[in-house]
Amino acid sequence: MIPAPRHQTVILIDAPLSSRSPRYTETVGDALQALADHHGRLGRGALIEVPTNGSLAIASYTPYRPETEGVALQCERALATMTALLRALCGRDWAPDEVLMPRREPPDAAPYAAFFRAPVRFDHESAALVFPARLLRRAIEDANPLAHRIAERRIRQIEAACPAGVTDEIRRRLRTTTAQKPLSGLQVAHMLAMHRRTLSRRLKAEGTSYRLVANETRLGLAKHLLADTDMSLAQISATLDFSEPAAFTHAFRRWTGTTPSAWRRDAVAPEETGDQAAPTPPGRVSPSRPRSPA
Mean pLDDT of the chain: 80
pTM: predicted TM-score of the whole model, two decimal places: 0.77
Span 94-150, pLDDT tens digits: 999 999 999 999 999 999 999 999 999 999 999 999 999 999 999 887 766 666 666
Residue 9 has pLDDT above 50, yes or no: no
C-beta pairs of 263-266 under 8 Å, 24+ apart in sequence: 263/223, 263/226, 264/226, 264/227
Span 164-175, pLDDT tens digits: 688 888 888 888
CB 204 within 8 A of CB 165: no
pLDDT class for 61, splitting at 50, 70, 90?
Answer: very high
Q: What is the pLDDT of residue 81?
A: 92
Amino acid at 130: V
Give dist(CA 80, CA 92) in Å, integer. Answer: 13
pLDDT class for 26, splitting at 50, 70, 90?
Answer: confident
Residue 24 has pLDDT above 90, yes or no: no
What is the C-alpha end-to-end distance of the chain, expressed in Å?
43
* Percentage of residues in the chain having pLDDT higher than 70: 73
Strand partners, 61: 48, 127
Q: Would you list the DSSP string of the chain? A: -----TTSPPP-S--TT--HHHHHSSBHHHHHHHHHHHHHHHSTTEEEE--EETTEEEEEEEE--TT-TTHHHHHHHHHHHHHHHHHHHH-TT---SEEE-SSPPPS--HHHHHHH-S-EE-S-SSEEEEEEGGGGGPBPTT--HHHHHHHHHHHHHHHHHSPPPHHHHHHHHHHSTT--SPPPHHHHHHHTTS-HHHHHHHHHHTT--HHHHHHHHHHHHHHHHHHH----HHHHHHHTT-SSHHHHHHHHHHHHSS-HHHHHHHHHHHHHHT-SS-PPPTTPPPTTS-SS--
* pLDDT top residue among 151 and 20: 151
pLDDT class for 42, splitting at 50, 70, 90?
Answer: low
pLDDT class for 44, splitting at 50, 70, 90?
Answer: low
Q: What is the pLDDT of residue 169?
A: 86
* pLDDT top residue among 234 and 292: 234
Span 175-189, pLDDT tens digits: 885 555 778 899 999
Average pLDDT over residues 265-285: 51
pLDDT class for 289, splitting at 50, 70, 90?
Answer: very low
239 exposure class (CB count in 10 Å sphere: 0-12, 13-18, 19+): middle
Q: What is the pLDDT of residue 155?
A: 66
Give dist(CA 260, CA 116) in Å, integer. Answer: 32
Q: What is the pLDDT of residue 112?
A: 96
Average pLDDT over residues 8-37: 59
Span 227-250, pLDDT tens digits: 999 999 999 999 998 999 999 999
